[in-house]
Structure 1
C-alpha cells in the first residue's frame, strides 16, 4: 500500500469514482453524466469532491456542499454526501482523512455545522461517524423526488 493522499476530484477520476459507487449503490453510474457533473462542480467554489488515492487508484470519496443560511449569524452550513471507502481500505483511516478534508473546507467557508444522512441500516457507518465526533442530533427526513433508474 502506498501513502494515502486526499485531493480534489478531477475528470480523470470518474472511472475510479464509478467503481466506488458500484459498492455504494449496487449499480454502475452514467459515466457521461458523471464527467459533466464533475466538470460543473470543479468550477463551483461551494462544492468540494474529495478523493482518497492509494497511488493513482481512487479508494474513497466524499462530497461537501456549502449551503447558504438565513438564521442566526447567517453563516452557511455544509451538507456531506457520497462518503464511500473501498471495502478493502475500510478501517484504515481513509474515511477520517476524507471527512477531515471536508471539515477543513467547511471551516474555511465559515460553516456553522456539518449535516449528513446515512442509510437506516448502516450500523458500521453510524459507529464511524460517532467515532469522529458526529452525533445523532435530530431526526432526519428524506423524500425521493425522482425515481431511481
Structure 2
C-alpha cells in the first residue's frame, strides 16, 4: 500500500467518486452532472472537494462548503458533506486525514465551526466523528426537497 495522499478532486475522478458514493448509499451518480459540479466547485473558493488517494486510486472523499453567517463575529461556518471512505480502506486513518483537510480549509477561511449530518443509525460513523472531536450535543434535521432518481 502506498502512503495515502489528500488532494483536490479533479474531473478525471468522477468514475471512482461515483463508485464510492454507490458503495455508500447504493445510488448511482450522473457522471456528466458530477463532472460539471466538480468543475464548478473547483472554481468556487467556498468549496473544497478533497479526495484521498492510494497511489492513483481514489479511496475516499469529503466536501467542505464555507457558508456565510450573520451571528456574533459574522465569521463563516463550514458544512462537511459527502464524507466517504471505501470499506476496503476504513480503519486506516483516511477519514481522519480527510476531515483534517476540511478543517484546515475551514481555518484558512476563518470558520467558527464545522457542522455535518450523519444518518441516525450510522453508529460507527458517529463514534468516528466523536473520536476526532465532533460533539453530538446538538440535534440535526434533514428534509429532502427532491427525490433522487
Give me the TM-score of the superposition, normalised by structure 1.
0.99
Count residues in correspondence: 149
Equivalent residue for 1:89?
Answer: 89
> Following the alignment from structure 1 to structure 2, what is the Cα–Cα distance between the partners of residues 47 and 15?
20
Quote the offset at 1:137 in angstroms.
Answer: 2.4
Quote the offset at 1:19 in angstroms.
Answer: 0.7
> Following the alignment from structure 1 to structure 2, what is the Cα–Cα distance between the partners of residues 146 and 27?
14
Equivalent residue for 1:123?
Answer: 123
> Following the alignment from structure 2 to structure 1, what is the Cα–Cα distance between the partners of residues 147 and 19?
22
Quote the offset at 1:67 in angstroms.
Answer: 0.0
Please give the residue correspondences for 1:64-83 in structure 2 after superposition, counting only pairs within 5 Å. 64-83=64-83
Deviations 1:74-120 (A, max 9, x none): 00000000000000100000000000000000000000000000001
Deviations 1:50-87 (A, max 9, x none): 00000000000000000000000000000000000000
Quote the offset at 1:28 in angstroms.
Answer: 1.4
> Following the alignment from structure 1 to structure 2, what is the Cα–Cα distance between the partners of residues 65 and 117?
13
Equivalent residue for 2:54?
Answer: 54
> Following the alignment from structure 1 to structure 2, what is the Cα–Cα distance between the partners of residues 71 and 58?
38
> Following the alignment from structure 1 to structure 2, what is the Cα–Cα distance between the partners of residues 106 and 117?
17
Quote the offset at 1:138 in angstroms.
Answer: 1.2
Please give the residue correspondences for 1:4-83 in structure 2 after superposition, counting only pairs within 5 Å. 4-83=4-83
Q: State the secondary structure of the residue aligned to 1:92.
A: coil
Q: State the secondary structure of the residue aligned to 1:2.
A: coil
Q: CA RMSD in A?
A: 0.6
> Following the alignment from structure 2 to structure 1, what is the Cα–Cα distance between the partners of residues 121 and 138?
17
Runs of 4+ residues over 3 Å off in structure 1: none
Quote the offset at 1:45 in angstroms.
Answer: 0.1
User: Which structure 1 residue ranges, 5 or more long, are not aligned?
Assistant: none
